[in-house]
Amino acid sequence: MPRLRAHSEPLGRWPIVMIRSSYFIFSPLQDILFVLFTPLLILGTFAAARAGGWMDGLIAFGLALAVGHYLPGIVRAYGDRELFKRFRFRLIVVPLLLLSTTIWFAYRDLHAVIFLQMLWGGWHWSMQTYGFARIYDAKAPAEARTPAVLDRLLCLMWFGTWMLSADPSAYLKTFYESGGPLLRASVVGLLTRGWFVATVALTIVYVIHTLAAIRRGRVPNPLKFVFVALTFIYLSHTTSMIDQPVVGLVMFESWHDIQYLAIVWLFNVNRGKRKEAGPFIHFLFRPKAIWIAAYVISCLAFGTLNFAWHLFDNPVVARVVLSLVTATALLHYYLDGFIWRIREVETRDALGVSTSDQLRAPTGIRRIRPASFIPAWSTHALLWLLFVIPAALLFATESKGGSALRIHESVVETLPNSARARYDIGKALQDAGRFREARTHLETALALAPDLLPARISLGMVLANQGDLEGAKMQLKQALALDPRSAEAHNNLAVVLDEQGDLAGAKSHLQHAVNYSPKQATFQNNLGRLLAKSGDLAGARVHQERALYLDANFVEAHYQLGLTLAKQGALPEAVQHLQQALRIDPEQYLAHNALGGVFMNLGRTGEARVHFEHALRINPDYVSAQQNLANLIEKSNPLRD
């Protein structure tokens, strides 16, 4: 097969642009798979996961990959002998600084470091795009390359544009949680419009510069423009998924991670051939399939750190463990700021980029480096002020406290047309039992984004709590029209149908909920309760036991299983589950009453009376407990359920 030829032939005043084989970072096929068209593979995988019902597993894999891709940069920084020797001081001091800071903020349950991580992460995303753009640019002849400042500004401005045009409410919420002052909607709107205008102006300048270069026969690497365009098209898609923000985040992050793993592998394989890298890098990075597999598996194993906090019940310990992920992310962002600089000779050598024309200055002009006047360490120290000063200021303001609902109100005040912000405050009001106010915000959210599935589901339950069962049923059916596989919508619709007396319809939707989300304990318990209500005690017991297998501390499941076992005549087992429900939640008056009834049937009247009385102390108006206690005292009427 003939190789791809590279040349430009004039056609009038415009040359024909042809893609050289040397324009690719890896090879044509590898660039397509790991850099350029990876989003197509990711979109296909997520579509298959959605159809096959393994979306939760894919999300977990994506989150592990997100943390796992931090490992190769750390290995490079601490395993490359020459690099560590150059930056020994910062590589020792900075991790200690980041770790102590994140742990302290996590222990105090403060959010400033998380907010700064979000901002730094956005910068990191844009700079990785810029980095790949510069690598592609460096594959072109020196005279055809774009000035680095134009590439950097283009990536930064367009990333900011997509973030602002999508929905920045998550950033703003964390800013207010961190103690940030209220930002006026008019000011934010003005700044946003100014950013958009600046982005358009910069893009025009960039296009004019590129076209002028092409007309002069200096054709840049076209793959750079393909890559940058695909990045922002894909980013616009993932950031528009406001109904599934985690899915959108993982979809974009996965492309970012795959790019990173691929480029670091290539870099370190080439770098390991040089003696100054040291034996460690040479040993780890060898171009064989078994070492590639070990590389990927090691990264994914490291990524399980993202889930370690689930092992701890104590919320303080869980926050501190989770802060290790935050510290690792910040270290990753920091290291990537100086260990992969394309302008450095060793970096260009490892990436297969020619160094002969590096740092070329126009004829007769000597390139002046800022380092000649300003020590490198002082510039580096000044940059740290961008982290330290905001962290200190936000620490002081957040320590004064602020209610969660007030934070949601501030976000809505700043972004009144944000559907996500309206949904968030509506959900918070729903959870607080303020259904009238919740309804207003949820209806506004749906007016702004009619396909916002979580808002439609929440509005359905708000209407149900207000007694409007028909309105609730309509909203939940519309939610299922948006996503027929929404287990939450099926479950909530079943609850409404049960209230209306449609047991068959409720059972059908609960079975769908359990099929689509079999590991959701609430859905299993609800189906069990409905089966018990319809007389299928054996089926009810299966689902209630499954709910407890999924969540051993699920109070409602212990209570419902206790009732089912009592009806089946398994009274000692019923006592165990009802007592366990009360150990977890001693104020469960329903469980007290049910346990009293079981004790009555066992002839343990003294214990029965204690629990009936306890139920009435919690809820003096509970009629069933009143009647059961009266029957116990009178010992004349049969015990009522």
DSSP notation for 73-90: HHHHHHH-HHHHHHTHHH
Lowest mean pLDDT among 9-18, 246-255, 491-500, 531-540: 9-18
pLDDT score at 16: 54
Selection from 514, 597, 590 nearest residue 555 by Cα: 590
Position 374 confidence tier, pLDDT thresholds 50, 70, 90: low
Q: What is the mean pLDDT of residues 626-633?
A: 87
What's the rounded Cα separation, in Å, for the pair 258 and 33? 9
Position 433 confidence tier, pLDDT thresholds 50, 70, 90: very high
> Has residue 55 been placed in a domain?
yes
Amino acid of residue 305? L
> Has residue 581 been placed in a domain?
no
Give the per-residue SS3 of 208-251.
Answer: HHHHHHHHCCCCCCHHHHHHHHHHHHHHHHHHCCCCCHHHHHHH
pLDDT score at 361: 39
What's the rounded Cα separation, in Å, for the pair 217 and 13? 9
Encoded tokens for 306: 């993202």
Q: What is the mean pLDDT of residues 29-36?
A: 91
> Has residue 342 been placed in a domain?
yes
State yes or no: pLDDT of 345 exceeds 80. no
What's the rounded Cα separation, in Å, for the pair 412 and 418? 7
> Has residue 259 been placed in a domain?
yes
State yes or no: pLDDT of 203 exceeds 70. yes
Residue 64's domain spans which residues? 10-354+379-398
Q: What is the mean pLDDT of residues 494-515?
A: 94
pLDDT score at 3: 40
> Has residue 525 been placed in a domain?
no
Count of domains observed in the chain: 1
pLDDT score at 400: 59
> Has residue 135 been placed in a domain?
yes
Lowest mean pLDDT among 230-244, 333-347, 558-572: 333-347
With vertex at residue 487, the alpha carbon angle to CA 481 and CA 488, rounded to the nearest 5 degrees, is: 90
What's the rounded Cα separation, in Å, for the pair 249 and 59? 10
pLDDT score at 371: 45
Q: What is the mean pLDDT of residues 216-245?
A: 89
Q: Tell me the pLDDT tens digit for each residue of 385-405.
A: 888 888 888 888 876 556 889
The 3-state DSSP class for residue 14 equals strand
> Has residue 191 been placed in a domain?
yes
pTM of the model: 0.82
State yes or no: pLDDT of 52 exceeds 90. no
Query: Exposure pattern of 395-419 as b/e (b: 16+ CB <10 Å)?
Result: beebeeeeeeeebbbbbbebbeebb
In sequence order, the 6+-apart residues with CB closer than 8 A to the CB of 10 are 217
Strand-pairing partners, residue 10, are 15
What is the residue-averaged pLDDT of the chain?
87
State yes or no: pLDDT of 247 exceeds 50. yes
Distances from the Cα of 569 to the Cα of 336, 540, 572, 594, 602, angstroms: 65, 14, 9, 14, 11
What's the rounded Cα separation, in Å, for the pair 344 and 69? 23
> Has residue 574 been placed in a domain?
no
pLDDT score at 370: 45
Lowest mean pLDDT among 319-328, 365-374, 446-455: 365-374
State yes or no: pLDDT of 4 exceeds 60. no
Selection from 336, 363, 408, 371 nearest residue 121 by Cα: 336
Strand-pairing partners, residue 14, are 11
pLDDT score at 302: 95
Encoded tokens for 172: 């703003």
With vertex at residue 233, the alpha carbon angle to CA 231 and CA 236, rounded to the nearest 5 degrees, is: 105
Selection from 368, 348, 369 nearest residue 357 by Cα: 348
φ/ψ of residue 351, rounded to 5: -95, 0
State yes or no: pLDDT of 51 exceeds 90. no
State yes or no: pLDDT of 204 exceeds 70. yes
φ/ψ of residue 15, rounded to 5: -80, 160
- Report the share of the chain in percent with pLDDT over 90: 62
